[in-house]
Amino acid sequence: MNTPQSKRRMGREVKAALWTARHPGSVLTPAVTVASGLEWGWTTTGGIVGGTAAGLCAWYRAHPATFDHYAAPRLRAWRRRWSAYVGPRWHAALRACDLYTIHRKTGEERFPRIIRVRSYSPTVDSLWLRIPAGQHARQFEARLPELTEALRVERIAVERIKPGVVGLVIERAEPFTEVIEAPDMPEDPSAVDLKNLYVGETEFGADWRLPVLGQHTFVAGTTGSGKNSIPMSQLRALAPLIRDGLVRLWLCDPKQLEFTKLAPIAHRYADTEQACSDLVDEYVEDLRATQRRFADTGTRKISVSRETPLNLLIVDEIGALLAYGDGALGRNLRRQLAIVGSQGRATGHAMTAMVQEPTKDTVPIRELFTIRICLRVTAAAHVDMVLGENARLRGAIADEIPNSEDTAGIGFVLRQRSRVPLRVRAAYVNDTEIDQLVTFVRTGAAGGGHLSVVA
């Protein structure tokens, strides 16, 4: 039987009771403070409160790492919940953006209710909203520009958490105000996790890590966006494995700029269109040879060692090879790189490619890349070309990143297990640090013994 509907609204006292049940801490804390003052006296209560505050200050000054990890996010989230996202202000922003519903009979306004606030960094908040019937995450996607202005924030990204719950990532200020230092080069190969290489930071202040084993990485960005910071950071993290012959580096460098410094440590290096085509042919032949060897031995998964190293192909400005050059060479490169993209994961033949114009005409094989990164681009359409349909609508506004040296390395990726855009910044590797990488690999080559890394 259907529940009968009434035109009467819920009583205010019931709403107050429900609010209290949802936010017990915000009610009990002042209530306990008042009760303590009445029971034990305000001097004693003031001493307890002051002692707690002094303890927090001492923790803040004495051990910043643990305070910032445990206490700061909770204190910050509580403050934001009852300042930036408090009822009237929150309702006004949603009303201005038409992100609410009206009950058909009672005429009561129904707003998405905040059920969780997290503030893992000083500049970014994460909200979960219980949305009323008749709403969907797509409505928030369509209203993101208006909601961003209504809340006076820099950027908002949206995702559907589960039925009836929408998540918002709210960037209140620029999280990347400083250059991120280049990754360290570990001395011991066993310290390198091929599925978890540090390349920078996320907007939440956490490490941004990328896998290289079994993955192909596609980096798109206009001139000066910092594309090369990503493979350079990967290579510094891989330095001991390159040194010990566990990773072989193949370089296609038609631009002949930053990567020329790496020629001495590359297994193969090419800087002309013909040479790049020959290098990729050899790379595919090595892939085929590994496939035959695996078939003969019944191997299904690569175990990285000197006998079966991880092969990493880096193509700087793949568009220059596939679309802008000689027709015959371009067709050969498209065919061969498609083989790498579709068959190289199992044999340990990975690929990282950079491009300025990520259109299908320029890079027809872009769908074969498993990891895609969009740095600053010149057109809104480029964002969806790189990250997938509606990525920009959900908050990946890479075309709005300012054209400045201060924004080099800043871009967007899609979170694992989610389609919500994550803002990231790659570490900056300067010429001196590239020279350090070359010196580390060439002068620190290990001799004797058998080293292996099982991924």
One pLDDT digit (tens) per residue for the chain, 455 residues: 455 555 555 556 555 555 555 555 555 556 566 666 666 667 776 767 677 777 778 776 777 788 677 788 888 888 888 888 887 889 999 999 999 988 777 778 889 999 999 998 899 999 999 999 889 999 999 999 999 999 999 999 999 999 999 999 999 999 999 999 999 999 999 999 999 999 999 999 999 999 999 999 999 999 999 999 999 999 999 999 999 999 999 999 998 888 999 999 999 999 999 999 999 999 999 999 999 999 998 888 888 999 999 999 999 989 989 987 778 899 999 999 999 999 999 899 999 999 999 999 999 999 999 999 999 999 999 999 999 999 999 999 999 999 988 999 999 999 877 778 999 999 999 999 999 999 999 987 443 333 333 33
Domain boundary (171, 203, 220) is at: 171
Same domain? 209 vs 355: yes
Q: 214 lies in a domain?
A: yes
Interhelix angle for 431-443 vs 229-237, to 10°? 30
Statement to judge: residues 42 and 74 lie in one domain: no
Residues 35, 126: one domain? no
Q: Kindly state the greatest CA–CA separation across the chain.
A: 89
Domain containing residue 292: CATH number: 3.40.50.300
Residue from 382, 368, 315, 376 nearest 323 by CA: 315
- Same domain? 158 vs 246: no
What backbone phi and psi angles, to 5 degrees, belong to 84?
-75, -30
State the Cα–Cα distance between residues 373 and 410, nearest whole angstrom: 10
Give the domain range for residue 30: 19-49
DSSP 8-state assignment for residue 71: I
Asked if residues 250 and 268 have their Cβ atoms less than 8 Å apart, the reply is yes
Backbone dihedral region of 304: left (phi > 0), alpha (psi from -120 to 50 degrees) or beta?
Answer: beta
The pair phi, psi for residue 70, each rounded to 5°, is: -100, -50
Residues 24 and 105 in one domain: no
Alpha-carbon distance of 308 to 438, in angstroms, equals: 23
129 and 224 in a common domain: no
Same domain, 102 and 39: no
Q: Are residues 224 and 161 in the same domain?
A: no
- Measured distance CA(445)–CA(448) in Å, rounded: 10
2 within domain boundaries: no
Which CA distances in Å does 145 have to 151, 208, 224, 396, 397?
Answer: 10, 27, 27, 12, 10
Residue 41 backbone class (left: φ over 0; alpha: ψ -120 to 50; beta: rest): left
Task: Give me the residues paired with residue 202 across strands.
Answer: 424
Split into its structural domains, the chain has a count of 3
Contact predicate 349/340, CB 8 Å: yes
